[in-house]
Amino acid sequence: MKIWQSVVIVLLLVSLPLFSSCQLLGIGGKSKEQLYYEQQLQLLQMQQEAAQKANDEYYQQLQESLNAYLQQYNAYQQSQQQQQMQAVIDQAAAAQETPIPYN
Residue 12 located in a structural domain: no
Query: Which residue range forms the structural domain that includes residue 61?
Result: 30-93
The whole model's pTM is what? Answer: 0.51
Backbone angles phi, psi at 94, to 5 degrees: -65, -35
Alpha carbons 33 and 27: distance in angstroms, whole number: 17
Q: For 43-101, what is each residue's pLDDT tens digit?
A: 999 999 999 999 999 999 999 999 999 999 999 999 999 999 999 998 888 878 777 77
Residue 98 located in a structural domain: no
Is the predicted pLDDT of residue 36 greater than 80, yes or no? Answer: yes
Residue 20 located in a structural domain: no
Residue 22 located in a structural domain: no
Q: Are 89 and 97 in contact (CB under 8 A)?
A: no
